[in-house]
Amino acid sequence: MNNWIISGASVLGGEPADIFVRDGVIADSAPDSAQRLDATGLIALPGLVDLHTHLREPGREDAETVETGSRAAALGGYTAVCAMANTDPVADTAGVVEQVWRLGKDAGLVDVQPIGAVTVGLAGERLAELGAMATSAARVRVFSDDGHCVHDPVLMRRALEYVKAFDGVIAQHAEEPRLTVGAQMNEGDTSARLGLAGWPAVAEEAIIARDVLLAGHVNSRLHICHVSTAGSVELIRWAKSKGWRVTAEVTPHHLLLTDDLVEGYDPVFR
C-alpha cells in the first residue's frame, strides 16, 4: 500500500503537521485506507542526493554492491546516488556504465546514476569514451577520475571542451600528485611534531586554481570533489563571482575532524 498519513513531522523550517501520501505522491487530503506513521519529533525533507558514492560493483563485490549500497542509501533518506567510476573494470565505456545503471534499476531502491571516467583506466593519458557514455542508456552527464587527478592540463581542457556538447560536468579530484608522494596527513604543526610526511594544502589549491581558470576559459562545467582547505573555498568563491559554472562538495570528516586527533592512539583517525 502506498497510502500514508505521516503525522507530527516538521517540514524543514515549519511547524509539525500531517503529510498525506496517495499512491506514493504527496496529496492535499488524507487518502482512503491509509496507514499512519508517527513521525513526532522528526523533520521531513525531500529525498537526499549523494553526489559521491563508491558502489564498487563490478569487480569489488566483496566490499559493496549496487544493491547493498542502494539499500544503505535508502535507509539513510537518500533517493538518488551517483556511483563513482573506480570499479574493476573501470566505468570508462558505455558497456560498464550501462551495467551499473541496470543493476540500480534491478535493485529498485534508489536512482543510481553512474559517473563515467574521464580517462581510460583512470590512467590520465587519453580521454575515455565520454560521448558513448553520454548517449548510452545510462545517459551519463558527470565524469570523474576520482581517486586520481586529471593532472595533465591539456587533457583536462579537452575533457571540459568535450562535455559541453551534452552539458556534461567534469568532477575533479584536486591533487597535484607530485606534491603528495608519501604523504600521511595534513601538512602543518602536528605533522612536523609527529614526524609524519605532510600533505600540503597547495597540492589541492593549485589544481583548483588551474581548473577554474580552464573552466572559465572554455565556458564549461566543473565540479570539485571533497574540498578540504580554506584556500580552496576562497578560490571556488572567486570563480563563482566571475559567473563561471563551478560547484563543489565537502565531506563530514573534513568539516568535523582536526589534525590533533591523529596524536592519540585511536586507529579510527589514522
- pTM, full prediction: 0.90
Report the distance separating Cα 64 and Cα 32, nearest Å: 40
- Note whether 4 and 66 are same-domain residues: no
- Note whether 84 and 121 are same-domain residues: yes
* 231: exposed, middle or buried (Cβ count in 10 Å: 0-12, 13-18, 19+): middle
Distant-in-sequence, close-in-space partners of 17: CB < 8 Å, separation ≥ 6: 9, 10, 11
- Note whether 153 and 52 are same-domain residues: no
pLDDT by position in tens, the chain (length 270): 588 999 999 988 788 989 999 888 888 888 878 889 999 999 898 899 999 999 999 999 999 999 999 999 999 999 999 999 999 999 999 999 999 999 999 999 999 999 999 999 999 999 999 999 999 999 999 999 999 999 999 999 999 999 999 999 999 999 999 999 999 999 999 999 999 999 999 999 999 999 999 999 999 999 999 999 999 999 999 999 999 999 999 999 999 999 999 998 898 887
- Residue 90 is given by DSSP the state -
Q: Among the three residues 115, 139, 163, which one is the final residue of a domain in this structure?
A: 139
- Note whether 178 and 248 are same-domain residues: yes
- Note whether 56 and 109 are same-domain residues: yes
- Note whether 157 and 191 are same-domain residues: yes
- Note whether 153 and 236 are same-domain residues: yes
Number of independent structural domains in the chain: 3
Residue 144 falls inside a structural domain? no
Residue 270 falls inside a structural domain? yes
Range of the domain at 98: 46-139
- Note whether 84 and 125 are same-domain residues: yes
For residue 187, what is the domain's CATH number? 3.20.20.140
